[in-house]
Amino acid sequence: MSSTRLSDRQRRIVEFIGDFLDEHGYPPTVRDIGRAVGISSTSVVDYNLKRLEREGYLKRVRDVSRGIELVGDGDRRSRGAFTEVPVIGRIAAGEPIEAVEERDRDRLLLSPSLAEEGCFALRVKGKSMIEDLIDDGDVVVVRPQSTADNGDIVVALLTEASDEPGRATLKRLYRERDRVRLQPANSALNPIFVDPASLRVQGKVVAVIRQM
């Protein structure tokens, strides 16, 4: 298998297939490709398509007209792959999350590199994390997980056992001996110390988005 780079002709074929798909919504025929790339013989197109398939640039379905599908980088359908992240409410230090009705939720579309599937977002209320550069009104993208590393910014739920019942909070989490410190990033505010048993980590902040 010659794993050399594609010939000029082959690159033009892949590019043309993508253009054709964008324009028409269906793949080109072997003869369409030949005409576009300047190949008079269908067998030569077929030859190059077979080669491109072996190299992993596309997939073909035998005996099916227009049975060509681009894969990987060439696939312009997946060039628009994105993650949909619902903004499910507002969070403020030490108060319950203000949930938003599902039908009123904003939905953010984000690159998969920014937020993986399953994430949610919360709008931040207040300046309790201002020294971590999270402002009032910012949106934090949260990846759901029940554990967190020391120093992670997490959405934590204080259960009834604690002295702050049923409240959600956005804080940095630090484990200390037999307790957990929830540290705001605002020197005007004091940390909260809780029993690990009365704390439930809801998720970790993976991104911050601010609109101006």
Catalytic amino acids? Answer: 128, 171
- In the complex with DNA, the residue whose CB is nearer, 39 or 189, is 39
Three-class DSSP category at 190: coil
Output the smallest distance, CB 147 to a copy of itself, in A. 16
C-alpha to C-alpha distance for 36 and 18, rounded to whole angstroms = 12
67 touches DNA by CB under 7 A: yes
Tell which one of 1, 4, 147, 212 touches a copy of itself (CB under 8 A): 212
109 binds, among a copy of itself, DNA, none (CB under 5 to 8 A by kind): a copy of itself
Three-class DSSP category at 18: helix
31 touches a copy of itself by CB under 8 A: no
- Strands 120-125, 83-92: pairing is parallel
106 binds, among a copy of itself, DNA, none (CB under 5 to 8 A by kind): a copy of itself
Output the smallest distance, CB 21 to DNA, in A. 13
Contact call for residues 154 and 130 (beta carbons, < 8 A): no
Task: Please choose, out of 92-100, 126-134, 162-170, 191-199, the segment that lies near a copy of itself by the rule CB under 8 A.
Answer: 126-134
The total of other beta-carbon atoms located within 10 Å of residue 166's CB is 11
Complete DSSP assignment for 63-94 = T-TT-EEE-GGG-TTGGG--EEEEEEEEEETT
| Residue 128: closest CA among 179, 167, 177, 161 | 167
Tell which one of 92, 153, 155, 199 touches a copy of itself (CB under 8 A): 153
Phi, psi of 72 (to 5 degrees): 65, -135
7 touches DNA by CB under 7 A: yes
Residue keyed to tokens 């060039």 = 79
Tell which one of 36, 46, 75, 96 touches DNA (CB under 7 A): 46
Q: Write out the residues near a copy of itself by the rule CB under 8 A.
A: 24-27, 29, 61, 65-70, 77, 80-82, 84, 106-111, 113-114, 130, 133-135, 153, 205-212
